Amino acid sequence: MNTVVVGGGVIGLAAAWRARRAGLAVTVIDPAPGSKASHVSGGMLPAVNDQMYDQENLLRLCLASRELYPSFVAELEEFAPAGFRNDGVLDAAFDEDALGSLDRQQSFQESLGIRTERLTAAEVGALQPAFAPVLGGLLSPDDGAVDPRVLTAALITAVEALGGTVIRRAATRVADHAVVLDNGEAVAFDRLVLAAGCWTHRVDGLPQGAIPEIRPVKGQIVRLHSDPPLLAVTARALSKGSSLYLVPRLDGELVVGATYEERGYDETVTADGTSGLLARAAAVMPGVGALRFAEVSAGLRPGSPDDLPLIGPTTVPDVYLASGHFRMGVQLAPVTAEAIAAHLTDATPPAVTAPFTPLRLA
């Protein structure tokens, strides 16, 4: 069985790796694997997020992926470091509203069997001395983050080490069970996985409307750097009704994100995006101003028509989708990859992925 995956972001690469591991011949096609939304993402892996409170199916999908992450990483690290840490995620409340939201989050997580530790203001200060004064915090000690740049590099290494192929060219169209590249060459497939984020529906040659339109939702994100790292653990700073993601890496990188902008296929980093993130970071970490400004980048999150992932078969025989993960591609990579590998091998995919069949939109 010859499988072609169009799209070498974290979703496509993870699916390719699991498919190859399941014994399929695998070819990934991407002009620059790991260079788009996966390259920009902060890679935070929080236990829960706002969307999960009232979306039961999404909640179960996320919990399944969270459960898979440690073994997914452990297997991947037989090939290369994956950049994973699960030494805690701290939700820090900088105002009364945020403090109230921690109560709700704590009972929600406990109802799901996800460990939490409620921290006083002083305890937050002790754990994360770089923070401005807070009202309190909630530590999820078993959660964390992954460095998506390290993760995608490891996935490429693993795919190639197992004999899979990564073709660094653009896919232009599908024709006769083959993907035609930008140099005119055709790569034949038995089954095809489209995992090209917000470019997924842009591959020509499939029946009109067969692939739902995936809209780009721009996110700008800033990377700062200090030695030693400014923050001890991954955090969300909650204030004024919003949440600022702060993802420290062991090498001193501090990712600050992110904006949400609906502006089409625009990957421009702007003065406003940059200054807005820096101002929000300075409001919660007074010492952040002295940190080295390392990078600002913009990625396009893939938003499906109902803002939920698309995982599984389409109405076109032998064509599968793994896209539309919006803000949760890195988080949902393990469960998505398991599901796609199962579909491709005619095995039973994880039941939690069933509601995310692309056929729901057909």
Which residue ranges make up the site for a second copy (CB under 8 A)?
Answer: 222, 224, 268-275, 278-279, 281-282, 288-293, 296
Q: Which is nearer to a second copy, 271 or 346 (CB)?
A: 271
Q: Rounded to the nearest whole angstrom, what is the least distance from the CB of residue 225 to a second copy in the complex?
A: 9
**What DSSP string describes 207-222?**
PTTSS---EEEEEEEE
Strand ordering across the sheet containing 178-181 = 171-174, 178-181, 186-188
Residue at token pair 């974290």: 10
Q: Rounded to the nearest whole angstrom, what is the least distance from the CB of residue 258 to a second copy in the complex?
A: 15
User: Tokens in use for 267?
Assistant: 């990957």
3-class state of residue 107 by DSSP: helix
Q: Which is nearer to a second copy, 158 or 298 (CB)?
A: 298
Q: Rounded to the nearest whole angstrom, what is the least distance from the CB of residue 72 to a second copy in the complex?
A: 34
Q: Which is nearer to a second copy, 214 or 230 (CB)?
A: 230
Q: Rounded to the nearest whole angstrom, what is the least distance from the CB of residue 288 to a second copy in the complex?
A: 5
Q: What are phi and psi of 116, to 5 degrees?
A: -140, 155
Q: How far is CA 276 from CA 258, 282, 287, 298, in A?
A: 10, 10, 16, 14
Q: Which is nearer to a second copy, 176 or 227 (CB)?
A: 227
Q: Which is nearer to a second copy, 257 or 358 (CB)?
A: 257
CA angle 222, 144, 251 (to 5 degrees): 55
Q: Rounded to the nearest whole angstrom, what is the least distance from the CB of residue 282 to a second copy in the complex?
A: 7
Q: Which is nearer to a second copy, 290 or 317 (CB)?
A: 290
For residue 113, give the DSSP letter.
Answer: T
Q: Rounded to the nearest whole angstrom, what is the least distance from the CB of residue 202 to a second copy in the complex?
A: 24
3-class state of residue 165 by DSSP: strand
Under a CB-based contact definition with an 8 Å cutoff, are residues 69 and 142 in contact? no
Amino acid at residue number 207: P
